[in-house]
Structure 1
């Protein structure tokens, strides 16, 4: 294990613990805030609104993140961002509507810093041979957060139809401690030393040395306006909408479907566990096979994710009632709601999401290795803006409408990603042919000299 891969492992542990706290909260926020509202009439905070504020703030602040990193560096940005996650979790111990929304704004700004710093740090610790492996390993470790956090919630919510104050505080206190542990791992990250990359790709840290904050901002704008980045943005939009759906809408919809049984609330946590299993399996699989998937192209993995997601959307459509995202309901859909089918769909949503995100990380880390800070900031901007939009309409749109939006955006986003990947391969083949043609005259001359001497 070399120094750079050890950095990736430490990065994975830091994010795994920080996001064990946040992703678990995101999964249960709608359910748990409804319970708080029932106990305290003065509390009017809404889970969908909180999540929408988080992702909208994240989208806006992503434009400033490259400029911030020119001052703090990637490690400093990640530590600052992680502290805002800690504050967000602590705020739930003191349920106040204004505090919930203020913490949502703060964590949105912190998320822009932590994710842009992560993209930069991962890139400078990778090269063309290791970026797919490192992306897959990081993604698998990150998504372990869904597994551990939601398994804890599944146990704590067992047999409950209402989440009482004691149970809530135990969950919040435990998640606070876990988030603090993640910050410790980020504090011990070591400076990155980028090895020489293939095709003379320069280290971003060297390329941006002395760069001003305004230069970083202008560079992000210029990059966003390029043809490939605009196409990739369509894929980013889809990942944002499906992220908000599986992380904040789908699991609560299961918990609101009362015809699934008396323990339906604990299925919210179990759904998160199965989403996490799908994410971890996908990340580990594409991390181990990273070199092979890069050789054959990233598009087969993305197309597989697309087919898996379309299957899961259909199964969700026939399994859950149309009004499930809005609150407790006894309605049924085309079949009697099945907890087993719901958990299968959770797994498929997680696995398909891993297909998309590992390949997006891979293409950004290789194609934009010399400008990774801006590339990852733009990725998070587009993804977060789409996620915020989804949370804003989630409280109004029927489940069938949300699934229809996902199907359309998934089709467009997958086609756009494949277009960029195919164009990149065509350019690589053209360069190879051109290089071969330049060598041909010299090769012929050598052959003629050999015949002459014979």
Structure 2
């Protein structure tokens, strides 16, 4: 009897948490942040799966093409760690809020996308097992490819640190549902990106990320400005955001 009542209470709490998450997902701030979150899901798929495939498919890299995949992953990690450490610490002392970091992140990513567009063959994501002998707008460079890996990791850390920060600030009392929505949207978009990565040429995958990233940055700015205005109305300093 006690076990049945305990299980029923757990089910009730789980259902209440689910309803709260659904309700929270339709708030204006969460819907705006979902666009930014969607972008992090798309670029997560790109740098964790697609870009390494592109590097390994370029025959002009020679016998080192496959080994460059591992090196690319290392430099993505270096960018993530460096950005996470720097922006995680600076965000506590920043007087300008989160927008400059997100702006830096999108600029870094756009630079990476442009260099990848110039450096990688267009058919690299869907090349056969034998690889591709095509070239893009420049002779494929190993150094540029690895540098782009670093930029992808650095830009991703900019977005993730600031997204987690603003979610924790806006939903300090409902943090669990807020972060559940964040991971749900990110995972769904990552899955969608994995699906179309097997069919779309590199230029179209980059274009999708540029468009979603542009609008995701704007929606993040809108939420941040609204949060800053709410703080100012309460007489709090912006650095406390």
C-alpha distance in 1 between matches for 2:91 and 2:103? 16
Q: Quick one: which of 369, 389, 392 aligns to 2:172?
A: 369
Q: Quick one: which of 298, 313, 319 aligns to 2:98?
A: 298
C-alpha distance in 2 between matches for 1:342 and 1:247? 14
- 1:94 aligned partner: none
RMSD of aligned Cα (Å): 1.5
C-alpha distance in 1 between matches for 2:85 and 2:37? 22
Q: Quick one: which of 341, 352, 357 aligns to 2:160?
A: 357
**What TM-score does the superposition give when structure 1 sets the normalisation length?**
0.49
- 1:244 aligned partner: 45
C-alpha distance in 1 between matches for 2:115 and 2:207? 13
Give the Å deviation of 1:225.
0.6
Give the Å deviation of 1:346.
0.3
C-alpha distance in 2 between matches for 1:269 and 1:249? 13
Deviations 1:328-381 (A, max 9, x none): 111111100000000010000000000000001111112111111100010011
C-alpha distance in 2 between matches for 1:338 and 1:320? 9
Q: Quick one: which of 33, 36, 40 aligns to 1:235?
A: 36
C-alpha distance in 1 between matches for 2:62 and 2:140? 10
What SS does structure 1 have at the residue aligned with 2:234?
helix
Preserved contact between residue 57 and residue 132 of structure 2 (Cα < 8 Å): yes
Deviations 1:252-304 (A, max 9, x none): 110110111221100000000110010000011012223123x3201110011
Q: Tell me which of the two structures has the higher relative contact order, counting C-alpha pairs closer than 8 angstroms and 6 or more residues apart.
A: 2
- 1:323 aligned partner: 123
- 2:212 aligned partner: 409
- 1:219 aligned partner: 20
Q: How does 1:149-164 map to 2 (within 5 A)?
A: none
Give the Å deviation of 1:396.
0.3
C-alpha distance in 2 between matches for 1:347 and 1:426? 35
Preserved contact between residue 38 and residue 189 of structure 2 (Cα < 8 Å): yes
Q: Quick one: which of 118, 140, 153 aligns to 1:337?
A: 140
- 1:188 aligned partner: none
C-alpha distance in 1 between matches for 2:208 and 2:13? 40
- 1:308 aligned partner: 108
C-alpha distance in 2 between matches for 1:291 and 1:413? 23
C-alpha distance in 1 between matches for 2:190 and 2:134? 27
1:430 and 2:230 equivalent? no
Q: How does 1:121-200 map to 2 (within 5 A)?
A: none
C-alpha distance in 2 between matches for 1:412 and 1:211? 38
Report how many residues are paired: 225
Q: Quick one: which of 179, 183, 186 aligns to 1:380?
A: 183
1:390 and 2:193 equivalent? yes
C-alpha distance in 1 between matches for 2:48 and 2:21? 28
Give the Å deviation of 1:211.
6.7
Preserved contact between residue 91 and residue 97 of structure 2 (Cα < 8 Å): no
C-alpha distance in 2 between matches for 1:432 and 1:348? 38
**What TM-score does the superposition give when structure 2 sets the normalisation length?**
0.90
What SS does structure 2 have at the residue aligned with 1:262?
helix
Q: How does 1:251-290 map to 2 (within 5 A)?
A: 251-290=52-91
C-alpha distance in 2 between matches for 1:270 and 1:246? 13
C-alpha distance in 1 between matches for 2:180 and 2:113? 29
